Structure 1
Amino acid sequence: MNQTDSAIPGLHDFDFLVGHWQAHHRKLTHRLANSHEWIEFEGTLFNQPLMGSHSNVDDTLLNVPGVPYRGVALRSFDPKAQQWSIWWLDSRTPSDPLDPPMIGSFHNGVGTFYGDDTVNGKRVRARFIWSNITPTSGHWEQADSPDEGKTWETNWVQDIQRMQ
């Protein structure tokens, strides 16, 4: 990292995530279906910086009961826009094209990212929120909006604890 990089606002927003984490997940069983049934499971997350902190990558293990899988979250920072883009690669569908990225930034310690997704064949807005970030813990959640952001349904919550 050079002195110019350290002065770029937002570049180091995901530095907190570098390392090994234990994750507790709570996931809605049916998205946008007025469901109130959740499953809970454990997992791990390993994050490392790339490109001098201009990007980073997670290797995630999700121990969903009966169907564990892995995923990769790739994040890249645009210094001009001062925003992060986040892509997801899923081991269950490794040949599928990547979804459009979630794009956003951190303000007052909370990261908010928006993008488009498809649920049951219908286009929806999606939102990620990173919050409650400390050196040893953090909270992430995903929500969908069928009405362009007027209402949101949280469908996945992840709480992480740093592994010693």
Structure 2
Amino acid sequence: MRMQKRATGNYKPFVFEYSDGNITYPVVQISPDSTTYFYGKVGIGTTDTKGYNLAVAGSIIAGQIKVKQSSTWPDYVFSSTYRLKLLLEVEKFVKQNKHLPEVPSAKEVANQGLDMGVTQTASLKKVEELTLYMIELKKENIALQKRVQKTGTKMIAII
């Protein structure tokens, strides 16, 4: 199908509508700038959108995906009031639950799907916590090296 405006002046959007005989419902609007607006939910390869505005049965490829979310970004991990779990607490949780704290399990993901924004936030939080653990371990390492050097110096003095 091809639509072409032959008159001069401002272009207006083209609207596909559905009517049940009493009421007319807009379905799709195509604007002159090539913007397409769908009224209601859109299914690609499916008619069951499961309540989502867009449902795709199959794979999706994109050059970029931006997820806008309202949840708090985990920079609070670097706050002086943040309580970093002890590694032994994390180990106990992992042994019992077979996944990291505050990260969904494989079973939860299989049953409920994966929210990319929530998952990215949780992953970054874990990276930030790991960074804090590494800093802590580095400080402990430096302290131990100093103790070994002092002990070594004392040993040489004794010999």
TM range (shorter): under 0.3
TM-score by length of 1: 0.18
User: Which has a greater percent of strand?
Assistant: 1
Larger Rg belongs to:
2
User: Which has a greater percent of helix?
Assistant: 2
Higher RCO structure, 1 or 2 (CA under 8 Å, sep 6+): 1
TM-score by length of 2: 0.18
